[in-house]
């Protein structure tokens, strides 16, 4: 059995934060490594937190549509814990 890594919201958010280029690079490197090894895991809570931060707290926030697309991509990439159509739910809440 391979070890799994629960990906923290902060790591996912830094991957989008252009105001912090060094942290962004480190987050992207970490995420790419986890994707290659297929060991990254996200939870519904992490996806909800990520959506809130990406759309409201970044120096250059994403639109709801951009954030939904990002969540959909992450849910396809990472092994999710019971994540079912969460991006649609988040998008409906914030539109």
Q: How far is CA 36 from CA 8, 30, 39, 68, in A?
A: 18, 10, 8, 23
Helix (H), strand (E) at residue 59: none
pTM above 0.85, yes or no: no
**Please, is 56 exposed, middle or buried when counting C-beta atoms within 10 Å of its C-beta (0-12, 13-18, 19+)?**
exposed
Residue 1 confidence class, pLDDT cut points 50, 70, 90 = very low
Give the three-class secondary structure for 38.
coil
**pLDDT per residue over 12-31, tens digit each?**
999 999 999 999 999 999 99
């Amino acid at each position: 059995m391979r070890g799994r890594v629960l990906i923290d919201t902060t790591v996912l958010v830094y991957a989008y934060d252009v105001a912090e280029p060094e942290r962004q690079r480190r987050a992207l490197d970490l995420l790419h490594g986890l994707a290659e090894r297929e060991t990254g895991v996200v939870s519904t809570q992490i996806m909800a937190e990520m959506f809130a931060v990406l759309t409201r707290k970044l120096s250059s926030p994403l639109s709801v549509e951009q954030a939904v697309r990002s969540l959909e991509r992450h849910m396809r990439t990472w092994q999710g814990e019971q994540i079912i159509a969460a991006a649609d739910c988040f998008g409906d809440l914030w539109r």
